[in-house]
Amino acid sequence: MKLVRFEREGRFEVGAVLEDLATVLCVEDPPSTIEALLESEGQASRMRAAIEKGRGSTLPLAALTIAAPLRRTPHNVFCVGLNYLEHVAEGARTRQAAAPTIEYPVFFTKSADTIIGPRDEIPLWTKVTQALDYEVELAVLLGRGGRDISPDTAWDHVFGVCVANDVTARDLQRRHGQWFKGKSLDGSLPLGPWIVTRDEIGDVGSLVLSLHVNGELRQRAAVRDMIFDIPRLIAELSNGMTLASGDLILTGTPSGVGFARTPPVFLQAGDEVVCAISGGLGEIRNLIAER
């Protein structure tokens, strides 16, 4: 299923994006959140049956106001810092240092209140930061929580995946030592446009992430270029630490971020950032807005 959350006549509902990626099936008695589907197996299987039988009415996706797939997450959003070799290398180059060897995933978190929709404006927060930057990432939504999850069974805990932009204030990221503040400005996690459920992902390694700013390609890589794959990330993160249904893991960004360009380039008011992932995951398209 490709589950999209949208607003219609002042109410939110979850529908299914059909194969053409342009039509939404609106089911009868729809859930208002994807969280509701995670909480109720009955509701999830009713939804699946309705989609399989094509029961409901259809609307063009372009006519809908698409909302963020999730309102918030049970914990902070879990993130992975250095998970693509070329991104590790470009970061080291900016510090004129040798690229470190990454033996274990670098975990950090972002406030769960940062989530915004796939068409919402990203605030520039000019009074707070002069170095707002982008990071396209594959986001993994857990359907089932757990602790000490083994890599072999990690996929059983995944509900689905979507596109994310881990928007980062680079000056704050450095100034405060710990990354939390620079990663947690309001509106710094555009997410969506829909959740592709695990059964529809296919070969996850072959998915290609890309990011354009004002039509210029800045980032492009395949998921298989990750240093630590998704099962390893879930296993390491859940070691001795309970993860919950509804938790979200951002799996790291490839090279091409603004701060590592020569000279560094940061986001400006009016810029349009488009993050996309192949395989039917779609794209999120956000304007940078003075705030």
Q: Convert residues 21-60 into a mask of x (bound to Mg ion by CB under 5 A) and - (unbound).
A: ----------------------------------------
Among 133, 135, 247, 271, contact with Mg ion (rule: CB under 5 A) = 135
Find the shortest distance in angstroms from Cβ 106 to Mg ion: 10
Pick the stretch among 10-18, 109-117, 166-174, 202-210 that binds Mg ion (CB under 5 A). Answer: 166-174
Find the shortest distance in angstroms from Cβ 160 to Mg ion: 19
- Is residue 253 within the footprint of Mg ion (CB under 5 A)? yes
Which helix (H) or strand (E) is 85 found in, with range?
helix 85-94
Please return the burial class of 152, using the count of CB atoms within 10 Å of its CB with bins 0-12, 13-18 and 19+. exposed
Find the shortest distance in angstroms from Cβ 189 to Mg ion: 10
Q: Which is nearer to Mg ion, 14 or 209 (CB)?
A: 209
What is the distance in angstroms between the CA of the first residue and the CA of the last residue of the chain? 36
Residue 258 structure tokens: 């603004």
Instruction: Please name every residue paired with 168 in a beta bridge, in sequence order, or none if there are none.
Output: 133
- Is residue 90 within the footprint of Mg ion (CB under 5 A)? no
Residue in the structure block whose two tokens are 């690229």: 99
CA distance 128 to 125: 5
Give the strand pairing for 11-17 and 2-8: antiparallel
Site for Mg ion in 114-133 (CB under 5 A): none
Pick the stretch among 107-115, 203-211, 226-234, 250-258 that binds Mg ion (CB under 5 A). Answer: 250-258
CB 67 within 8 A of CB 12: yes
Among 90, 166, 247, 271, contact with Mg ion (rule: CB under 5 A) = 166
Tell me how far the alpha carbon of residue 183 is from its chain's centroid.
14
Of 258, 284, 219, whose CA–CA distance to 66 is shortest?
A: 284
Q: Which is nearer to Mg ion, 197 or 286 (CB)?
A: 286
Q: Which is nearer to Mg ion, 188 or 197 (CB)?
A: 188
Residue nearest to Mg ion (CB): 166
Residue 146 structure tokens: 């757990």
Q: Convert residues 195-234 into a mask of x (bound to Mg ion by CB under 5 A) and - (unbound).
A: ----------------------------------------
CB 269 within 8 A of CB 288: yes
Name the site residues for Mg ion (rule: CB under 5 A): 135, 166, 253
